Amino acid sequence: MKIIVIHGPNLNMLGTREPHIYGSETLEDINEKIRKYAKSLSVEADFFQSNCEGEIISKIQGCQDKYDAAIINAGAYTHYSYAIRDAIAAVSIPFVEVHMSNVYAREDFRHKSVISPVCKGMVCGFGSNSYLAAISALTYK
């Protein structure tokens, strides 16, 4: 099984960005943790991060024949990007929505996800372990 993990805007700042919310691991640390966990389940993981909506959309479009599934933390785009939602809907592989923080315990604008309806499922609130939970849910037989 081959998956891609797509990180959206500001996730490149992990480690120094609001550590009381997102912890002290860098994006590199988190990707390494995901890579190791995925490997233990015989899953190969690729990684992509962008702060640009269009680049994320192009990456999603390119997933179709390349990956069996995708994990996406769309950052704040989660809450308002109909273009990212439409891109996910346009490809037939399963997408799992992930958030490190519990978005429902935060500001009201984070309670709405426009991508949830086109994702297979959603994991939030477990820090970087949210990504591992998504891989576990995708692969558990």
Query: Would you tell me which residues interact with ligand DQA (CB under 6 A)?
Result: 10, 73, 75-76, 78, 99-101, 103, 110
| Residue 132: alpha-carbon gap to chain centroid | 11
Taking the least distance from each CB to ligand DQA, the nearer of 96 and 100 is 100
Residue 107: half-sphere exposure toward Cβ, Cα within 13 Å: 5
Taking the least distance from each CB to ligand DQA, the nearer of 40 and 116 is 116
99 is catalytic: yes
Instruction: State the helix-helix crossing angle for 53-61 and 82-90, rounded to 10 degrees.
Output: 10
37 and 3 Cβ atoms separated by less than 8 Å: no
Between CA 108 and CA 126 the distance in angstroms is 19
Which of 37, 67, 77, 99 is flagged as catalytic?
A: 99
Q: Closest distance between ligand DQA and the C-beta of residue 73, in Å? A: 5
Taking the least distance from each CB to ligand DQA, the nearer of 21 and 40 is 21
> Annotated active-site positions, please?
22, 99
